[in-house]
Amino acid sequence: MGVMRLAIAIAGLSLVAGGGVPQTSQRVQHDATAIHDAMGTVATSTADPATVTASGPGGQPETRTTTTSTLAESGPATTARLPVRDGQTVGVAMPITVEFDKEIPPAARPEIQRRLSVETNPPQPGVWSWDPSGSQVWYRAPDYWKPGTTITVRASLAGVPMGNGTVGDADRSATVTVGNKVFMYVSNQAKHMQVYINDQLVRVLPVSLGKPSTPSSSGFMVVMSKEPQATFDTRGSADPYVVDVQWAMRLTRGGEYIHSAPWSVGAQGRYNVSHGCTNLSPTNAKWLFDQAHVGDPIIVKDTEDALHHGNGWTAWNLPWSEYVKGSALPVPPELANAVGVDPATGIPPTPTAAVATSTPSQRAATPGLDAVRPTD
């Protein structure tokens, strides 16, 4: 196969092939059915070099080499899933995520990461970072996505060796748009949730969190899914039950949700009775469900248990300086040294230029939550 013209995001750089003129990204293969043979095997790849010009966060051109693929037979497949769909509206903290049905060993991650592309309009450079288990990899910028941004992700993994005796099953892509900014801050001490919309505190909702034997996780999470109705079935656990709930929004893989809990309204704002979820009244749960997006940020504070890294989309639960260490490829220094959102408060840093021009009687505007800070 000849050299293809590609646009690929590698370690936060926007790369374009050939003479430095941005080109539309091309998928190495367009359809999983095109690479499966009659025996059910999947094509693997051999590499053809392509020289690319990179425009980094500072705008200076850099030259790198990437590869395109030709096909050869190989073995069973690893499925890579994109938890976003074309046309979806997502929250400002949405980590662009690729999830794998088999764990990816560290040695295979650099080549896989080279095949992952993110394009943002307006541009907002970010970094891929791996869950230590290798079951998922996230892409985010140091700061929240700007509302109205379009994000296109491409996982060109058809036939790529996955390091576990398998190859990638197919190429996948999706384009989403970032909605308005909705931010939730839950205080276990105060037993309430503060809801900010476009940096303005709009409501304070009483909550009941996890009781001491099943505490809620403290940490920086994002909404992973929204389900108008869901059934929680814990049969087989130490505390079995089956219950139908409404207005459920998942926060962790372990099963913590925000949801309507009419049975705990008397406890909400007073004490904790749940199995780890954030309980709201039916009216408040419906209102919040209607405001929120998948990818909205939520911080829970002061519970008995800290959020485990990888228990959900925990890309924001680490300081930026720690998050970038999860990249399998080198990160440009200007991006690696950026100052990110504080995972304890969800507040972005004040821009240096704004601080320099402030007078003692004027506080510089902070992007993100501006002057509003969550309180207990």
Per-residue pLDDT reduced to its tens digit, 300-332: 999 999 999 999 999 999 999 999 999 999 999
The pLDDT of residue 241: 83
User: Which pLDDT band, with edges at 50, 70 and 90, does 352 fall under?
Assistant: low
CB 206 within 8 A of CB 188: no
What domains lie within the chain, and their CATH numbers? 7-178 (2.60.40.3710), 180-292+296-319+332-376 (2.40.440.10)
Q: Which residue has the higher pLDDT, 363 or 251?
A: 251
Catalytic-role residue among 30, 36, 192, 277: 277
pLDDT score of 64: 47
pLDDT at 37: 27
Tens-place pLDDT, residues 183-207: 999 999 999 999 999 999 999 999 9
Q: What is the DSSP letter of 275?
A: S
> What confidence tens digit (pLDDT) does each residue in 39-53 have?
223 333 344 444 444
For residue 154, what is the enclosing H or E element?
strand 150-156
Is position 293 annotated as part of the catalytic site?
no
Q: From the CB of residue 82, how many other CB atoms can be counted at a distance below 10 Å? A: 17
What is the DSSP code (8-state) at residue 56? Answer: -
pLDDT of 70 over the 50 cut = no
| Active-site residue flag, 259 | yes
Q: Catalytic: which of 192, 259, 275, 293? A: 259
Q: Is 289 helix (H, G, I), strand (E, B) or coil?
A: helix
* Cα torsion 187, 191, 197, 201: sign: negative
- How confident is the model over 172-176, as a mean pLDDT? 98
Region 340-368: what's the mean pLDDT? 59
